[in-house]
Amino acid sequence: MRLSGNGRGGAPVQPVRRRNVSHELVERLQVEILSGRLQPGARLPSERELSERYAVSRSSVREAIKTLESRGLVEGRQGKGTFVRPQGLEHLVQPPVGPVFVNEAEVRHLFEVREILEPAIVRLAVARARRADFTALRRLLEQQAARVEAGAYTSDDDARFHVRLARITGNPVLIRLMEGVMHLLGVVREPALRAAAAGGNLRVRLEGHWEVLRALEARDADAAAERVLQHLAAARALALRVLREQGQSHE
């Protein structure tokens, strides 16, 4: 099945606007997939065809396809092309493309969501985690500690730990929800982490991750949930303080 509006019996495809080319191309293709115009099993047009159709560079097409693959919407098959994957419940919850700017009230709402979700996530993780999951989490935190020491720790590093916890549950909807919430908070968390680094507090924040891991390894669900809430309270306070200092607070 072809993309709708391809100029062959449909309305001509509009070239993407030049704000962020790959992000807009992701939005266009995602709509085609989630609306059902591109059915599961359908082969996407080639990189060259997409480049010509949307008047974008082939590198932008490759970046867009990579994003769609990371969202589980398409899959590459060696020597055959890129195909639409069957859609499950997790695809009802899709994180937005590109950065999102939020105000103080929205930050409070998003942290409320995290305070509901993450204690439940770690309780499930206590019940479902395998020894290999603990090993992977420990390795991740060791890598993050090295990035803190190198001054290279970012909001993406922070998000990886929380999303990894969701992955341990094996629940694809929880995973998507966590990815979405962390993405929405990304624009706020990045300056908050810089502020923590400037104040010498990044190690303290990372220690919050270690405390959660130790509770998980002890199979102590109550302690894990309590550690997560403590960590979130500190993260929320820092994010709101930085937001106010930047003059972006709008009740």
Among 59, 86, 113, the domain-final residue is 86
Taking the CA atoms of the chain, what radius of gyration do you get in angstroms? 20
Structure tokens at 221: 């669900």
Q: Is there a single domain that holds both residue 216 and residue 112?
A: yes
pLDDT at 9 over 80: no
Query: Alpha helix (H) ranges present in the chain?
Result: 21-34, 47-54, 58-70, 104-128, 131-149, 155-169, 172-184, 186-198, 202-217, 221-245
pLDDT at 250 over 50: no
Q: What is the pLDDT of residue 3?
A: 43
CATH of the domain at 71: 1.10.10.10
Q: Is there a single domain that holds both residue 238 and residue 152?
A: yes
Whole-angstrom distance, CA of residue 214 vs CA of residue 211? 5
Query: Is residue 3 in a domain?
Result: no
Q: Is there a single domain that holds both residue 148 and residue 32?
A: no
Q: Is there a single domain that holds both residue 128 and residue 81?
A: no
Query: Is residue 121 in a domain?
Result: yes
Q: Using one digit for the tens of pLDDT, what is the confidence trace for 90-131?
A: 555 665 555 566 788 988 999 999 999 999 999 999 999 999
CB 90 within 8 A of CB 72: yes
Q: Is there a single domain that holds both residue 122 and residue 80?
A: no
CB 119 within 8 A of CB 220: no
Q: Is there a single domain that holds both residue 117 and residue 230?
A: yes
Residue type, 204: V
Q: Using one digit for the tens of pLDDT, what is the confidence trace for 158-215?
A: 889 999 999 999 998 898 889 888 888 877 777 777 777 666 677 878 899 999 999 9
Among 86, 116, 142, the domain-final residue is 86
Backbone angles phi, psi at 232, to 5 degrees: -70, -35
The model's pTM: 0.64
CATH of the domain at 163: 1.20.120.530
Query: Could you tell me which residue, 250 or 80, shows the higher pLDDT?
Result: 80
Q: What is the pLDDT of residue 100?
A: 60
Mean pLDDT of 45-64: 92
Q: Is there a single domain that holds both residue 176 and residue 202?
A: yes
Q: Is there a single domain that holds both residue 109 and residue 54?
A: no
Q: Is there a single domain that holds both residue 203 and residue 127?
A: yes
Q: What is the pLDDT of residue 176?
A: 84
Q: Which domain holds residue 130?
A: 104-245
Q: Using one digit for the tens of pLDDT, what is the confidence trace for 218-241?
A: 999 999 999 999 999 998 998 888
Residue (of 227, 231, 250) closest to 240 by Cα position: 250
pLDDT at 11 over 60: no
Q: Is there a single domain that holds both residue 229 and residue 123?
A: yes
Q: Is there a single domain that holds both residue 137 and residue 215?
A: yes
pLDDT at 83 over 90: yes
CB 21 within 8 A of CB 57: yes
Question: Cα 219 from chain centroid?
Answer: 27
Average per-residue pLDDT for the chain: 83
Q: What is the pLDDT of residue 37?
A: 85
∠ CA 243-241-249, nearest 5°, is: 35
